[in-house]
Structure 1
Amino acid sequence: MSTMAKRTRTGDLSHLSVEALEEGHSRRACHVRPLTVKAHTSLRGEWMNMLLLVVLYAMQGVPLGLTMGSMPFLLQAKASYTAIGIFSLASYPYSFKLLWSPLVDSIYSLAFGRRKSWVVPIQLASAALMLVSADWAEARLREADIISVTALFFVLVLLAATQDIAVDGWALTLLSRQHIGYASTCQTVGMNIGYFTSFTVFLALNDVDFCNAYLRSTPSKDGHLTLSTYLRAWGWAYAGVTLLVAAFKKEVNFLPPEEADGLHAKLDVEDRGRGIRDAYTQLWEVVRLPAVRKLALVLLAFRLAVLPAEQAAPLKLLEKGVSKEALAGLVLIEFPCELVSAVVAGRWAASSSPFKPFLFGYQARVIMAAIVTSIVFLFPSGASSLTDHPGWFALLAAAGLVTSFTSTLMFTALGSFYTRISDPDMGGSYLTLLNTIANMGTILPKLALFSLMDLLTTRKCMGGDPTLERHACPHTQIAGRGENACTKAGGECVVARDGYYGLSYAMVAIGFILLLWLRVLLPQLDALPLEQWRAKKRRQ
């Protein structure tokens, strides 16, 4: 049920490969060969570097798992869907890191280490923020102070996104050439460890009912793990790991010695500034290409059909009494199946024209959005664990797996197309641009759609006295529970029309209209010559 979040947080190293961009700048400014890679070595000799990458990626996954996974669940009982949509702004930095990736790639201290110049201070800043704000964040969460909580997690995600740029660049030189493919594996393993620790594990240990049922002999009114305790624990972990990296991990430059001296001497402030300006200028020239603009329109529009169903369905199930740990458990059950489906989807997407599997996946995914919406509507209330109504949970898990497979198929197909049209002279920045636009198609409409769900929901004042119906009820669930004209008169605000279902089915209908448009436009884009995807090269 968290497919969109996972698509945003994972991906592959190519869309963040700023190393190739730097190499282009070095060739223009210094007239030297690009960075060479590490000498041949055995896989056993690489295990320490691979472990380091897994740990660094896991630390990035911690704030992402909280922001995209746990926090919307924790806020659901305290805030409206509009407020939860506002909180989604906290994830924006991870999708817009393209805007400052050239800066991370070009500004560093050679003496301390190119990637450590960013990784060490960023992780220490993250550690300090978690330690200082732990108790404050818990208090803000209890009071449902959306603005304050959003601001805190916005900064945490901003730091994680900046660290991600540096770590991905480091991964490309940390491993030898014959083992560089394991960098993506380290990313997947590490990010998922951090994400699921902050989502599945944290939600379970934070939930009072789960802890009382499975972890305690004497019931308590609190869960085992509060947000403040979790942030404080990871703050100390961040600090410890970062100090070890700073003290004991030496960052090696794998240029030949005779070329390294020349590169260090010539990469002055003026050369780096020119490289940054060239990177931003070339990205802007790509954005202005008609072909890229048409593709951008596709990337911004195609997820509209499935966003309400995929993003809000878990929150609607919580309203029906499904426990947080049950939904988190579904994600955990789906995870190994998703790894297998990713391999199948990847081979399928690579074996044909990219847009054929994309269109198949899109149509199936829109159908699944309608099915998921129907499952949520019919799902029995009060199913607090997976053992309650197991048939319905099995149906929900099956729908999640199909949705995940079709999402992976579309993601892989788009990646295949990106690789074919990308300009190799721009390195990873072209791919980063396209992935940034694609992520915008998820994060930009979310606030509007969640606000619409509240506006389209109507509630009636009900009670023993028929005259209570004349009292107005607020649109949102939280306001309806609080003090209002209805409750003051002794009534209760009851949902008469839930805006989620109408909005979700309307978006599905729009999705089938978009499908007709995509069937015409995508083959046209696929047939365009490569020259129409390339910006004019800047000569120096």
Structure 2
Amino acid sequence: MKTKTVPLKSILLLLILYILQGVIIGFILAIPLYLDSRGAKWQEQGTFNFVFYPFSLKLAWAPIIDAVYISRFGRRKTWLIPIQFLLGIILFILSFYLTTLIEELKIKMLTCIFFLVYFLLASQDICVDSWALTLLTNYNLQWASTCQTVGQTFGRFIGFTILMTFESASFTNRFIRKPFSLSEKSYGLFTIDQFIRFWAIAFLLVSFCIALFKKEKHNDNHLNLCQTYLSIFQLFKKKCVRQLALLFLLSPIGYAATYAMTNLVLKKYGVPKESLGLLGIPLIFVKILIPFCITQTNRPLTWYNRAYLPRLFMCILIGIYIYFTPYILFQWYFYPILTCLFILNESLIYLMLVSRVGFYARISDPCIGGTYITLLSMLGNLGASLTSSAVLYIAEWIKPDRLAYPLLVGICFLLGCLWLIMQYRTVLRLQALPIEKWHLSSMTIVSDDINEEPPETGFKEEEERRNMTDGVIRDQSME
């Protein structure tokens, strides 16, 4: 089979858009720490937490972005360009007032502003996810998942870790100014205002370049707004979609305790939060490299299956090691071993994540691309949220407290094994379904060769070629 060239321009465009999105998400995740340094109470932190809700509710307006657009301008650019320009303008204006709002603890004002920013980011995410389906149509759609994971991860690293590190006066004075014999300052390499102003300008420049230089392929959506909303219910009429929804709603139960409780238990056992932050630095490289390992896969759900059992065993190893943390916390080998365990676990997490999101991209109907991917992503995130909440509530009932973590890790391991036994064949069957089975209509788009024909067809044609070759050889022998 002839290998298709990688669409570097499309991949670069998607990476830039996802990085911009990730930077602002990481930046907003850092705001509660700045509020805490100014003495914000738990109730005030809880009020600010409302800014994160738009990503969980974006299915409500995803059909609007899919169905309403200006054909001449481009189906995705109709929404993407105004959204990004608006984000850039809001962030640029905010950069002149942000420090004052934080110092004066204007919680309600900050919540309203960042709720609007997060709403625009969620809308931008719908546009970019759905645009990726058409940008990468003639290539392996696994690249859509890779671009999203790598871009958002790198962006969050910049928006959170880089900001928190180099905005800090103490870190900059100790590790940058002092080694270079520079005078100490009361601020870091940059202020939070300068940081957000720089990325506001980046949003405006990228939006201007896309509007001016990037032409979107003509793509007519034959569904009106009402039909696009009804398509959500039509999708759930499909047995395969219902099975996939149940699959991803229940699969997180196997690692729910490790996912929800590990950092909390480590902090309870005396591990400083600064150390937990440093542990996350080597994980960034894992999160960026792992997605590239399966860009050429044609069976993402198979990889999801393969990584599930090893991840369950990693949960057990991490649970055992953390159980003995009070006895080995101050030994020289504690952090190196813990880092290695986290790296292995994070590798499996991102292998499963990229496989799952890649499968979403492969089966989503471009006719309602934004709505379809948003629906599937919401189901996956909902499964993780529900199982994590259930584990944390149950942990309150287990006495003594020290037994809660290892006991729940063990129970989740058994439930995960049970899930794998019951759903293993279902996963393989869903993976083998033709792409058109997942679409609203029987019409399919031009896609990569794997999407266009079932695996069995390829085997049959290969067998026919072998038979023809054998026949020629036999004829030549008879001659």
Would the TM-score normalized by the shorter structure come out above 0.5?
Answer: yes
SS in structure 2 of the partner of residue 306 of structure 1: helix
2:228 matched to 1:281?
no
1:191 and 2:184 correspond: no
- Structure 1 letter corresponding to 2:184: P
Distance 1:80 1:446, change over 3 A: farther
Superposition map of 1:460-539 within 5 A: 504-523=405-424, 525-526=426-427
Shift in Å, 1:195: 1.9
**What is the letter of the counterpart of residue 229 of structure 1?**
Q
- Counterpart-to-counterpart distance in 2, 1:450 and 1:222: 39
Which deviates more from structure 2 when the two are superposed, residues 393-402 or residues 273-282? Answer: 273-282
Which residue in 2 is equivalent to 1:397?
339
Amino acid at match of 1:306: T
Match of 2:194 in 1: 229
Alignment correspondent of 2:217:
253
Paired residues of 1:349 and 1:357 also in contact (CA < 8 A): no
Q: Show CA shifts across 1:224-265 (max 9, x none).
A: 33433322222222223323433x22424357xxxxxxx69x
State the match for 2:284 in structure 1: 335
How many Å apart are 1:122 and its aligned residue? Answer: 0.7
Specify the code of the residue in structure 1 equivalent to 2:128: V
Q: Which amino acid aligns with 2:213?
A: K
Match of residue 58 from structure 2: 97
Contact 2:154 2:284 in 1 (8 A): no
* Aligned twin of 1:165: 126
1:370 has 2:319 as partner: yes
Give CA-to-partner distance per residue, 1:292-322, whole Å, 9 cap, x none. Answer: 56425404644532233355468669x7545
User: What residue identity is the alignment partner of 2:384?
Assistant: T
Match of 1:473 in 2: none
Q: Quick one: structure 1 residues 423 and 207, their matched pair in 2 at CA, closer, same or farther if it must change by over 3 Å?
A: closer
How far is the alpha carbon of 1:155 from its aligned partner? 2.8
- Written as runs of structure 1 = structure 2, the 5 A alignment for 1:313-392 is 320-321=271-272, 323=274, 327-342=276-291, 350=299, 356-371=305-320, 373-374=322-323, 377=326, 391-392=333-334
2 CA distance for matches of 1:103 and 1:363? 40
Q: Is there any run of 5+ residues in structure 1 with no aligned partner, and where?
A: 1-40, 256-262, 382-388, 457-496
Cα offset, 1:51, TM superposition: 4.0
Answer whether contact 2:146 2:291 (CA < 8 A) is retained.
Answer: no
Contact 1:357 1:409 in 2 (8 A): no
Q: Displacement of 1:103 after TM fit?
A: 1.7
1:407–1:345 Cα change, 3 Å: farther
For the pair 1:119 / 2:80, whether they are aligned, the reply is yes
C-alpha contact (below 8 Å) 2:302/2:428 kept by paired residues: no
1:193-208 equivalence runs, <5 A? 193-208=154-169
Partner of 1:305: 257
C-alpha distance in 1, partners of 2:11/2:156? Answer: 19
TM-score (norm 1): 0.63
In 2 relative to 1, CA 198–302 (structure 1 residues): closer, same or farther, beyond 3 Å? same
CA distance in 2, matches of 1:316, 1:427: 46
Deviates more, 1:192-201 or 1:175-184: 175-184
Which one-letter code corresponds to 1:436 in the other structure?
Answer: M
Any conservation in 1 of the 2:265–2:405 contact (CA below 8 Å)?
no
What letter corresponds to residue 319 of structure 2 in structure 1? A
Residue 438, structure 1, aligned to residue 380, structure 2: yes
- Give the distance between the partners of 1:230 and 1:212, measured in 2 at CA: 18
Structure 1 residue 113: Cα displacement: 2.7
Give 1:400 shift.
1.6
Q: In the alignment, is the contact (CA less than 8 A) between 2:231 and 2:440 conserved in 1?
A: no
How far apart are the structure 1 equivalents of 2:357 and 2:210?
33
User: In the alignment, is the contact (CA less than 8 A) between 1:372 and 1:399 conserved in 2?
Assistant: no
The RMSD of aligned alpha carbons is: 4.8
Q: For the Cα contact (< 8 Å) 1:362–1:410, is it kept in 2? A: no
Counterpart-to-counterpart distance in 1, 2:132 and 2:245: 32
Instruction: Tell me how far apart the structure 1 counterparts of residues 144 and 422 of structure 2 sit (CA, whole Å).
Output: 35
Structure 2 distance, partners of 1:352, 1:172, is 18
SS at match of 1:196: helix
**Shift, 1:520, TM fit:** 4.3
| 312 and 158 in structure 1: CA distance in 2 versus 1, 3 angstrom threshold | farther
**Structure 1 residues 145 and 50, CA gap change in structure 2 (3 angstroms):** same
**Aligned-partner Cα distance in 1 for 2:19–2:99:** 23
Q: Is the 8 A contact 1:76 1:315 kept in 2?
A: no
1:147 Cα deviation (Å)?
5.8
Offset, 1:156 = 2.2
Q: Secondary structure at the match of 1:408?
A: helix
Task: Name the CA distance, whole Å, in 1 between partners of 2:415 and 2:14.
Answer: 40
Aligned-pair CA distance for 1:142: 4.5
Note closer, same or farther for the CA distance 1:88–1:287 as it changes in structure 2 (3 Å cut): farther
Q: Distance in 2 between matches of 1:315 and 1:117?
A: 47
1:130 paired residue among 75, 81, 91: 91
Which residue in the other structure is 1:211 paired with?
172
For the residues of structure 2 that align with 1:83 and 1:370, how far apart are their CA atoms?
33
Q: What are the Cα deviations for residues 314-336 of structure 1, in whole angstroms up to 9, with x where unaligned?
A: 8669x75453xx65554332333
Counterpart residue identity of residue 204, structure 2: A
Does structure 2 conserve the Cα–Cα contact (< 8 Å) formed by 1:308 and 1:503? no
Q: Distance in 2 between matches of 1:414 and 1:184?
A: 8
1:120–1:253 Cα change, 3 Å? same
Q: TM-score normalised to the size of structure 2?
A: 0.70
- Aligned-pair identity (%): 24
User: Helix, strand or coil: the match of 1:336?
Assistant: helix
CA 1:173–1:254: 2 relative to 1, 3 Å: same
Q: Distance in 2 between matches of 1:509 and 1:275?
A: 46
Q: Are the counterparts in 2 of residues 131 and 232 from structure 1 also a CA contact under 8 Å?
A: yes
CA contact (8 A) 2:133 2:366 kept: no
- 1:238 maps to which of 203, 209, 215: 203
Structure 2 stretches lacking a partner, 5+ long:
443-479
Decide whether the 8 Å contact of 2:254 with 2:417 is kept in 1: no
1:61 paired residue number: 22
Could you say what secondary structure the match of 1:218 adopts?
A: coil
Seen in structure 2, the aligned counterparts of structure 1 residues 142 and 301 have a Cα distance that, compared at 3 Å, is: farther
Matches of 1:252 and 1:125 in 2, distance apart? Answer: 21
Give the residue type in structure 1 aligned to 2:260.
Answer: P
Alpha-carbon contact 1:85-1:450 (below 8 Å) kept = no
The offset of 1:62, in angstroms, is 1.2
Letter paired with 1:218: S
Question: Which letter maps to 2:166?
Answer: L
